[in-house]
Structure 1
Amino acid sequence: MKKSKKFYLLVSFSIIAILSLFTGCGNTKSNSSEIYDSTKTYTGKFVNGKLTKPFHLKIQTQTSFNEAIIADKKGFFKEVGIIPEYTGVLSPNVSLPQSVIKEDNDLFDSGHVTTIASARKAGANLKIVLTSMVDSPDFDKTHMTWFVRDDGEIKSPKDLVGKKIAMSGKGSCAELWNAEFLRQNGVYVKKTRIVVMKDEQQEQALKQGNIDMAIVHPPFNMKIKNDGGVKILATSYEIGEKAGDGTASGLAVRAFSENFIERYPDVVKAYIVADLKAQQYINKNYQEALKIAADYLKMDIKNMAGNIY
């Protein structure tokens, strides 16, 4: 096990140990019939590993592999008193940090340290409460994949000058690691053309020649690979490894607004416990976790890929 992975696990276990100190405080009995009403003050406490009153946690609807799916379907949210309330898929002109600050969503559950840093620099009071996935050299667990057409003009990164590169968003992990990928190969990023496009749309765009390279997250990278007609120029793990740490190129975080944490500290504790249980389940039962996610996302299991934690 690499040093960075040991560090992530140590952080996770430390959080669990800290939370256990809180569970001994208070002796309020749980009232499972009382559901949280956003118009009233929430008075639930995190006692003996569960909220004394259920809390409806607003989460964006999942469109890819995420431990929130496992926490929901395996009952880890229910165990701690959280009821996930899925709010739908974000519109293209609204970012997840924006939706959390506006309180359309409670949880920031898709992004990285750099995402939070950029959001805070822009004035968003988001705060990281937990680390999540890390990158892997295994294709089915890798963070992102750089695809070009097998019969196209792109044979090496040098051929990307003047070409269209698709990614899920500006200011995203894809933009960060693509810039590093180009730098490593002596290509100035401003000499390429960046196109913002959803991951699930990039395969068709690539094969139709509307873009020259696709940067895709799981599970859509697995589908593109299985469908064929493409070749891989790089993976995020390879790029990160050249930069100093392959696992860190996929390091994700989970966050809430500072206002939410101040109002609902016990809900945050409950969420951390449920999420860590989901992460541990995925690491121990990876194939079963993929099947659960594939069923939830209505995807063919052969095209399913995820991450490790």
Structure 2
Amino acid sequence: MIRRFAFVLLISVLLIISAGCGNDNSAASGKPDSDGLFPIRVATQTGFNEITIADELGYFKEEGIKIEDTGVLGKGVTEYQLIAQGINDAFISGHPPNVAQARLAGLKMLAVAPGMVDNKDFPHVRYLVQDSSPIHSLNDIIGKKVAISNVAPCTDGYLKYYLSQQHLSGDINWTTLPSPGQQEQSLEQGLVDVTTSHPPFAGIALKQKGIRQIATSWDILHSPGAGLSVRGFSEDFIKQHPDVVKGFTRALAKVRPWINSHQEEAKRIVAKQLKLEPEDLSVFWYDEDKDINQDYIKQWFDISEQIGLWKKGDIQPADIFTNEYAPQ
């Protein structure tokens, strides 16, 4: 188990190095390459992501698009910063609050397609402890050391929202571990008391002896919308390449229901990329609607405002997305 995680961590480090010194970071030409495919540059994904699967199935190629990975995100670096710097073209992870925060910072980003949503049977986030832990519910995490990823606000945000709703207060030692698999490994080694865990690594962790689940994001929010992730581009890219954006949303509209109905095949594709065993992985559940649901975004805004990411009225749900380019 530890060897598997160590291998993934090594790959992540190598990708970060290659992203810093081996990639062409010049602005995209805005034209198809010699192979006739339009390149869309994105951050390399280190978890379960529909972009990887759509690319493997040829859905992007059918739309005249090819996905070009530019390396994993460094600590403290966001997809939105890389787009603003002309390094990447699209953001392919994260949630509505991330787009809202980018726009509040002056980066004109727009979501054009939904991604995964929360599901009772395929939860977005699982909360795990060691089997011997005295922690038996989320009410017990006050004063504890909790491992989170750098994909805020879904890891710490859900928990802060839950504690607020339950009128529970007290310090929590939030420990950010950005590398894939690092959160789960830290729990196994007893370095943290609780870990938040996403697919695919939640599945691996739960198969290990001595790991116990105390709750999921569904238990907190009871809503598919509160798990919504979104994909998109800068406003400039959308204006310059509307047909490419439409092709991008068509490819994703094909792959989302495919993943839901072909989970074992989807696991094999992701496992091949991450050098893991398919049977160990857990999966996300994907939104099968072609449009982004504004009510789902509003749920994220309610959470974000409750935990103080911004003040109510600073930005509206309609400001961060468009369905103009969704498949008809």
TM-score normalised over the length of structure 2: 0.74
Say which SS state the counterpart of residue 275 (structure 1) adopts. Answer: helix
Say which SS state the counterpart of residue 127 (structure 1) adopts. Answer: strand
* CA displacement, residues 267-307 of structure 1 (integer Å, 9 cap, x when unaligned): 11111111111112212322211222212222111211221
Matched, 1:239 2:223: no
Matched, 1:175 2:152: no
> Are residues 169 and 299 of structure 1, via their aligned partners in 2, closer, same or farther at CA, if it must alter by over 3 Å?
same
User: What's the CA shift for 1:104?
Assistant: 1.6
The correspondence for 2:176, drawn from 196, 208, 228, is: 196
> Are residues 124 and 202 of structure 1, via their aligned partners in 2, closer, same or farther at CA, if it must alter by over 3 Å?
same
Amino acid at match of 1:194: W
> Residues of 1 paired with 2:157 and 2:52: CA distance?
27
Question: How large is the RMSD of aligned CA atoms in angstroms?
Answer: 2.1
Q: Which has the larger radius of gyration?
A: 1
Matched, 1:257 2:234: yes
The correspondence for 2:274, drawn from 276, 297, 300, is: 297
Could you say which residue in structure 2 is the equivalent of 1:70? 53
- 8 Å contact from structure 1 (residues 97, 124) kept in 2: yes
> Residues of 2 paired with 1:183 and 1:232: CA distance?
22
The correspondence for 1:281, drawn from 241, 250, 258, is: 258
Matched, 1:157 2:134: no
Say which SS state the counterpart of residue 148 (structure 1) adopts. Answer: strand
Could you say which residue in structure 2 is the equivalent of 1:112? 95
> Are residues 40 and 58 of structure 1, via their aligned partners in 2, closer, same or farther at CA, if it must alter by over 3 Å?
closer
Could you say which residue in structure 2 is the equivalent of 1:84? 67
Amino acid at match of 1:273: R
User: What's the CA shift for 1:159?
Assistant: 2.8
> Are residues 170 and 276 of structure 1, via their aligned partners in 2, closer, same or farther at CA, if it must alter by over 3 Å?
closer
- 8 Å contact from structure 1 (residues 240, 248) kept in 2: no
The correspondence for 1:307, drawn from 284, 303, 307, is: 284
User: What's the CA shift for 1:43?
Assistant: 8.0
Could you say which residue in structure 1 is the equivalent of 2:244? 267
- 8 Å contact from structure 1 (residues 167, 197) kept in 2: yes
Say which SS state the counterpart of residue 47 (structure 2) adopts. Answer: coil
> Are residues 100 and 205 of structure 1, via their aligned partners in 2, closer, same or farther at CA, if it must alter by over 3 Å?
same
> Residues of 1 paired with 2:115 and 2:52: CA distance?
14
User: What's the CA shift for 1:40?
Assistant: 4.4
- 8 Å contact from structure 2 (residues 28, 86) kept in 1: no
- 8 Å contact from structure 1 (residues 167, 174) kept in 2: yes
Q: How many residues are aligned here?
A: 259
- 8 Å contact from structure 1 (residues 169, 175) kept in 2: no
> Are residues 276 and 225 of structure 1, via their aligned partners in 2, closer, same or farther at CA, if it must alter by over 3 Å?
same
Could you say which residue in structure 2 is the equivalent of 1:128? 111
Q: Percent identity?
A: 37
> Residues of 1 paired with 2:240 and 2:76: CA distance?
28
* CA displacement, residues 151-193 of structure 1 (integer Å, 9 cap, x when unaligned): 12323333322211111127421122111232344422x5111
- 8 Å contact from structure 2 (residues 32, 39) kept in 1: no
- 8 Å contact from structure 1 (residues 56, 83) kept in 2: yes
> Residues of 2 paired with 1:195 and 1:38: CA distance?
35
* CA displacement, residues 71-109 of structure 1 (integer Å, 9 cap, x when unaligned): 111100111111111111111121122222222221111
Say which SS state the counterpart of residue 227 (structure 1) adopts. Answer: coil
Could you say which residue in structure 2 is the equivalent of 1:25? none
User: What's the CA shift for 1:39?
Assistant: 6.4
Could you say which residue in structure 2 is the equivalent of 1:42? 31
> Residues of 2 paired with 1:280 and 1:209: CA distance?
38
Matched, 1:210 2:165: no
User: What's the CA shift for 1:53?
Assistant: 4.5
- 8 Å contact from structure 1 (residues 166, 196) kept in 2: yes
Deviates more, 1:92-101 or 1:81-90: 92-101
- 8 Å contact from structure 1 (residues 135, 248) kept in 2: yes
Could you say which residue in structure 1 is the equivalent of 2:6? none
